[in-house]
Structure 1
Amino acid sequence: MTTSSFHTLRYYLSEHPSIVGFRWSHTQSWGSTWSFLFTSIALYISAAVVLHVLLLILFRHRRPLPLGPLPAAHSLCMALISATIFAGTVLSAAAEIRDSRWLWRRSRTTPFQWLLCFPLGTRPSGRVFFWSYIYYLSRFVHALRSFNAIIRYRKLSFFKLFNHSISIFMSFLWLEFSQSFQVLAILLTTLVYSVVYGYRFWTAIGLPSACFPFVVNCQIVLLSCNLVCHFGVLLLHFIKGGCNGIGAWIFNSVLNGAILFLFLNFYGKRYLRRIKAGVAAVDGGCLVAEKMEMVKDKDI
């Protein structure tokens, strides 16, 4: 990438007036009210349940329904969105660190501490909160994957509905309460999602899959990193005398714990049961991985 191209990219991802001047507002930001949040989640769950029931009535057989290029298109879209949010958040965080470093010297705050623990009184405005807002909106696009699974397999997954709903809810809390840790959480999630959805697009267009459960391993890495970072936030909260939005962070931690429990319970039971039922007996590691990924796509 040339210098001029990098400067252009940096301008549109971190220095554009709409990004620098962003402010989370119930009157100016679309989808920023509590009524919108609860209504959208309720509509999402209701639509998924109604669609599932209708398909069960219309199609007695359980054979997969072809969706054509829709799953691949959704995966490509999510991969590009995630990569853009990741790049924008990196550049915006670097710009915020550059502009605020003089202020942090007074409180002896390092950039890494800021990524984990926002100072008390932080308001949801500026570059990183713009990308937090874009991430919040992208959760609705991410939730569309549930309908792909319902239409294709006529299988409604409580874990998928819960995970997507909580993802929307938590990203709203990040903005509403200027919650600490959100910058790192967005960076970790979008980095993993850009890889995961890129892989899903790769396999959806017929290219060979990995010789191990690739998506599951990425999800485990993401959950493990989030768990470590949560301990870092808690430590800094007591050392530095408080992190902004700690109440929302505590609620966020409880929801993350519930997701982690459901994740471990889901994979621990269903994967092991299906492997014991015959998947593990297939010769060839790549074939095993492909079947496990097929199981994953059907269930979550």
Structure 2
Amino acid sequence: MTFLQYWLVNHPTIVNFSWTQGQTPGSSPLFLTLTVISYLSITCLLTHLHLPPIKPNLLKLITVVHNIVLLVLSLIMAVGCILSTLLHPPHLHWIICIPPQTPPTGPLFFWAYVFYLSKILEFLDTLLIILSGSIKRLTFLHVYHHSTVVIMCYIWLHTSQSLFPAVLMTNASVHVLMYTYYLSCALGLRPRWKRLVTECQILQFKYSFLAMAVMLWFHFTGLGCSGIWGWCFNIVFYASLLVLFVDFHAKNYGGSKSIKVCDLDKRP
């Protein structure tokens, strides 16, 4: 525990982290805007070009490495955020409600920053789909999710938004499951729990609404919670994703309403 505590919470780089707009790499509105526009433009361009085929073995190697990196990174972010939540903030209720005027500094916001950068790295998911020739898998849900979640993570940092630790821990944990599945597929295995990965995401969104309601209760019955306007963006984003994932689930799994397995298929 001491080893993990130092490297994931108390390391000087983590403890002394500070998000400063215009100074921290990737913190400017211009960077965010150009990143999202570039992702959408390149995705649109590549889907209309006839790219030369990549050797299957090379594509498999790239896919395996990509999934291993994101699997390990997701696990580190989940553990890092959990330990930071338990050991760093003065009160555990920071997981739901961060006090107003809290500056985006320290371990919790360091992991929010890593999570933000990881969402840009996940743009490679889209490129791998295109290179594999499986354009049909490149759904509106996939592109919308990848492009908008980056904006959400930026708002977390820019507003010191409450509730992000809970969302980060949950989402990173589900991504460990998701990239384990994709890694298995890239290695030639076909786990029977593919469906396990959209329904967990659906559950995540549903429980997020409950957590957001609890945050509102803290906000209006106490001294307030930080990042309330970011909360407004999140609830609209989560609602839209929930609708899209439920629709995807219905089309791919016969519309079953019972959740027996967990399926976060970001690359449907």
Contact residue 55 and residue 154 of structure 1 kept, 8 A: no
Partner of 1:46: 41
Unmatched tracts of structure 2, length 5 or more: none
Structure-1-length-normalised TM-score: 0.79
Relative distance call for 1:20 and 1:213 in structure 2 (3 A) is same
* 2:85 aligns with one of 93, 96, 100: 93
> In terms of mean alpha carbon deviation, does 20-29 or 133-142 score higher?
20-29
Equivalent in the alignment of 2:66? 74
* Equivalent pair of 1:118/1:243 in contact (CA under 8 Å): yes
**What residue identity is the alignment partner of 2:121?**
V
Aligned match for 1:186, one of 158, 163, 168: 168
Query: Given the alignment, which residue of 213, 225, 228 partners 1:243?
Result: 225
Greater helix share, structure number: 1
Identity of aligned residues (%): 31
Q: Deviations over 1:85-112 (max 9, x none)?
A: 1111112112223xx25xxxxxxxxx2x
- Please, what is the CA RMSD of the aligned residues? 2.4
Please state how far the C-alpha of 1:17 moved relative to its aligned partner.
1.1
TM-score by length of 2: 0.88
Once the two structures are TM-superposed, the CA of residue 212 in structure 1 deviates from its matched residue by: 6.0
Aligned-partner residue type, residue 20 of structure 2: S
1:1-300 paired onto structure 2 within 5 Å: 6-55=1-50, 66=56, 67-97=59-89, 100-101=90-91, 111=92, 113-152=93-132, 153-155=134-136, 156-210=138-192, 213-272=195-254, 300=268
AA partner of residue 68 (structure 2): L
Stretch of structure 1 that moved more, 73-82 or 230-239: 230-239
SS in 2 for 1:209: coil
Seen in structure 2, the aligned counterparts of structure 1 residues 114 and 144 have a Cα distance that, compared at 3 Å, is: same
What SS is found at the alignment partner of 1:25? coil
Q: Which has the larger radius of gyration?
A: 1
- Matched position secondary structure for 2:88: helix
1:52 is aligned with what amino acid? T
Instruction: Please list every run of 5 or more consecutive structure 1 residues that lacks an aligned counterpart in the other structure.
Output: 1-5, 102-110, 276-288
Q: CA deviation at 1:183?
A: 0.6
DSSP 3-state at the match of 2:122: helix
Contact 2:85/2:94 (8 A) holds in 1: no
Q: Aligned pairs, how many?
A: 258
C-alpha change, 1:212 and 1:27, in structure 2 (3 Å) is closer
- Distance in 2 (alpha carbons) for counterparts of 1:250 and 1:241: 19
